[in-house]
Each structure stands twice: as C-alpha cells, then as structure tokens.
C-alpha cells in the first residue's frame, strides 16, 4: 500500500514538473484583430495600423484592424467583449471609456473586469488654442481676458477628457465662457479660425493646419512633454497651470480572463517594435502623438490615476457617476 502511494506521489510530481517546465504556448496561433472605436484615417486608426503591420511581420500571423466607430465608443467595446477571444484586442484611447460613467446611466461592461490593460503605446497631445483674432499669446493672457470679460468668450472642447478638463478648469478658477457643443468636433477648428468661437481644446493634430496658417494660436499642450512638431509651444505646467495636465494615453486591452503572462508578452513585443522602428516616432509626431510605451501594471496605474482625476473634476462640475 505504501509503495502504491509513493508511486502515485512520484507520478504526480512528474506531471507537475512537466507542466511547470513546459514552454508557453505560441502566440498568436491565428489572425489577431485590433478593434478601433474610430473610423479609418483617425489618429488612433493610423497608430493601430502602424503596430499591426509590424507585429504581423514579427509574429508571422496577420494582424487586422477593424474600425467600429459610433456610440461614443460603446460599439467598439461591445464588439470586443462579445468576441471573448484573446486574439481579438481593443486598441483605443483611455479617454474612450474613462468618462463613460459620467455620460451614461448604465454601461454594458465592467471596466476592471472586461478591459484588461496590456500596454500603452502613445499619448495623444491635447492643445488649448485661441482664435488669432483675440491677439493673445499665452494661456495666462487668456485667463486674464476671460476674467475681464466674463461670459463673452465662446469655448468648445472635444467630447470626453478634453471637455471635462477645460470646463472643470474654468469652473474651478471662476472663469465664465459660453459652451458651444459640436456633434462633429472637426468643424470647430474652422470656426475657431473664423472667430465664431474663441477657445478650443482638442487634439493638437486637429488644429495644427490652422496654426500653420497663423489663423489659430496654440497656447499650450496638456501633455508632460512639448509637441515635437511645435517645440515652441509650452506645456500647461510650464505655462503655470498644472491642473490642466493630462496624458491622453492610447493602448491595447485584452479580454476578461487573459493571463498576465500573455499580456506581458504582448507588451514586450509592442515595446520592442516601438523602439526598433524610428518611423513610428515620426508618424506619431505628424499625428500629434508622443511615443509612450508602458507595460500592464504601469498602464493600469496610469488609467487609475486618470479616473481619479476625472472623479475630482466631476465633483467640481457637479456631475455624479452612474456606476
């Protein structure tokens, strides 16, 4: 009897040893899909395709980009969750979902359970711009003008983080500007150039053409670093307004149940691709982004930091979370 027990223990130890020493399963085993919550040619779409092409070459498997715009990002998130497959990943800005609890009464997903951070790859540069007709040259001058003329300036911001950030700042500092809503924020830069609105917060890439013609003045960027294509423009912290700083990270997310080991492996691949190919940094600069690669834990911490900041701004604005 004792001999049989010993043999059983030896057999069990042998099986456990073979399992722990077995090499990780190769990934990917088939085609990988990146679901993007914006249309083709958007900044996030361009970024996703840059990495998809290079990862496909590295992995020897196709990496396809699937555009699922609409529904404030919920269409893409729903498609990603429905797939429930570690070969279908969400490629999106963090701002796609961090403001959802303040914009929707009920969400069809749990961010901590259903969207597992794999890695960030870039940071979208947000810019605070003014119409050249205001004839101001700095963020400080804008604050002085707004304080001297309460309610006289028209302001707009892209939905999501930019909207929260700008109007939360205005309320916290006691500044009054008339909010102009846009169904399509891409129309706003032309209105800014024509002087129909005076202040705009949106991605730097959107206002860059008007800035180059001199019809729009970019006063500051909300990123920690200056925009490579406009190094003369200060960051908000350099301009003296650190409360406006926010990193608008873009990254890759895996489905619920994806192992931390697999997320780490994919993150390493993304990081190595970003470092090895100088074209990526060049293309990022052209689309108003900075290279910003972080692994799963760092990415998750950055997301939590942003959620905490948005919660503070929501209190200032008097907006309650539905979640």
Among 186, 202, 221, the domain boundary falls at: 221
106 and 51 in a common domain: yes
When pLDDT is averaged across residues 119-131 and rounded to a whole number, the result is 97
119 and 260 in a common domain: yes
Contact 286, 46 (CB under 8 A): no
Q: For residue 208, is it within any domain?
A: yes
Buried-exposed string 239-275: b where 16+ CB fall within 10 A, e elsewhere:
bebeebbbbbbbbbbbbeebeeebbeebbebbbebbe
Name the strands in the sheet holding 248-254, side by side, starting at the edge strand that comes first in the sequence.
63-67, 32-36, 88-93, 248-254, 116-124, 289-294
Is the pLDDT confidence value at 199 over 80? yes
pTM across the whole model: 0.87
Q: Please report, for the domain that includes residue 191, its CATH number.
A: 3.40.190.10
Contact 124, 248 (CB under 8 A): yes
Q: For residue 231, is it within any domain?
A: no
| Coil/strand/helix, residue 277 | coil
Task: Tell me the per-residue pLDDT of 206-247, one tens digit each, with 9 for 90 and over.
Answer: 999 999 999 999 999 999 999 999 999 999 999 999 999 998
Element (H, E) at 221: strand 216-221
Contact 156, 181 (CB under 8 A): yes
Pull the structure tokens for residue 289: 């982004």
311 and 261 in a common domain: yes
Percent of the chain, pLDDT > 70? 92
**Number of structural domains found in the chain:** 2
Task: Tell me the per-residue pLDDT of 132-166, one tens digit each, with 9 for 90 and over.
Answer: 999 999 999 999 999 999 999 999 999 889 999 99
pLDDT confidence bin for 1, thresholds 50/70/90:
very low
Q: What angle do CA 160, 162, 165 make, to 5 degrees?
A: 110
pLDDT confidence bin for 6, thresholds 50/70/90:
very low
Model pLDDT, residue 323: 59
> Long-range contact list for 106-110, CB < 8 A, 24+ apart?
106/322, 107/74, 107/322, 107/323, 108/74, 108/77, 108/78, 108/81, 109/77, 109/78, 109/81
Closest residue by Cα to residue 120 from 301, 309, 283, 246: 301
Q: For residue 146, is it within any domain?
A: yes
Is the pLDDT confidence value at 10 over 50? no
Q: What is the mean pLDDT of the chain?
A: 91
Model pLDDT, residue 105: 86
285 and 199 in a common domain: no
Model pLDDT, residue 7: 39
Q: For residue 86, is it within any domain?
A: yes
217 and 134 in a common domain: yes
Domain around 271: 32-123+248-317
Is the pLDDT confidence value at 16 over 80? no
Please, which residues bridge with residue 106 across strands? none
Model pLDDT, residue 3: 45
159 and 190 in a common domain: yes
What is the number of other CB atoms lying within 10 angstroms of the CB of residue 310? 23
Q: For residue 165, is it within any domain?
A: yes
140 and 97 in a common domain: no
- DSSP conformational letter for 94: T
119 and 130 in a common domain: no
Q: Please report, for the domain that includes residue 75, its CATH number.
A: 3.40.190.150
Whether omega for the bond prior to residue 233 falls within 30 degrees of 0, making it cis, is: no
Question: Higher pLDDT residue, 146 or 7?
Answer: 146
Task: Tell me the per-residue pLDDT of 242-281, one tens digit each, with 9 for 90 and over.
Answer: 999 998 999 999 999 999 999 999 999 999 999 999 999 9
Task: Tell me the per-residue pLDDT of 19-43, one tens digit each, with 9 for 90 and over.
Answer: 444 446 789 999 999 999 999 988 8
134 and 117 in a common domain: no
Model pLDDT, residue 183: 86
147 and 97 in a common domain: no
Please, is 28 exposed, middle or buried when counting C-beta atoms within 10 Å of its C-beta (0-12, 13-18, 19+)? Answer: middle
Looking up tokens 């979370």, which residue turns up? 321
Model pLDDT, residue 86: 97
């Amino acid at each position: 009897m004792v001999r049989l027990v010993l043999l059983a223990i030896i057999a069990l130890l042998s099986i456990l040893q073979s399992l722990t020493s077995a090499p990780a399963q190769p990934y990917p085993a088939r085609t990988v899909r990146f679901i993007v919550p914006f249309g083709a040619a958007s900044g996030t779409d361009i970024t996703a395709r840059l990495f998809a092409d290079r990862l496909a070459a590295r992995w020897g498997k196709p990496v396809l980009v699937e555009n699922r715009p609409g529904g404030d990002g919920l269409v893409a998130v729903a498609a990603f969750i429905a797939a429930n497959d570690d070969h279908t990943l969400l490629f999106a800005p963090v701002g796609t979902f961090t403001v959802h609890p303040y914009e929707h009464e009920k969400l069809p997903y749990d961010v901590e359970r259903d969207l597992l951070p794999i890695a960030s790859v870039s940071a979208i540069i947000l810019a605070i711009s003014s119409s050249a007709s205001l004839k101001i040259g700095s963020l400080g001058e804008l604050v002085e003008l707004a304080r001297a003329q309460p309610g006289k300036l028209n302001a707009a911001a892209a939905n999501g983080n930019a909207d929260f950030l700008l109007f939360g700042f205005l309320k916290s500092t006691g500044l009054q500007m008339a909010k102009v809503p846009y169904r399509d924020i891409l129309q706003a830069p032309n209105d800014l150039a024509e002087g129909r609105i005076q202040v705009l917060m949106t991605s730097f890439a959107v206002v860059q053409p008007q800035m180059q013609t001199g019809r729009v003045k970019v006063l500051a960027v909300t990123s920690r670093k200056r925009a490579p294509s406009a190094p003369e423009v200060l960051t908000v912290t350099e301009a003296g307004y650190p409360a406006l700083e926010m990193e608008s990270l873009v990254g890759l997310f895996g489905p619920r149940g994806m192992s931390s080991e697999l997320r780490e492996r994919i993150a390493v691949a993304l990081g190595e691709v970003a470092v090895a190919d100088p074209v990526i940094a060049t293309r990022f600069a052209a689309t108003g982004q900075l290279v910003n690669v972080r692994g799963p834990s760092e990415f998750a911490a950055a997301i939590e930091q942003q959620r905490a900041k948005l919660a503070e701004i929501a209190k200032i604005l008097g907006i309650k979370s539905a979640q």
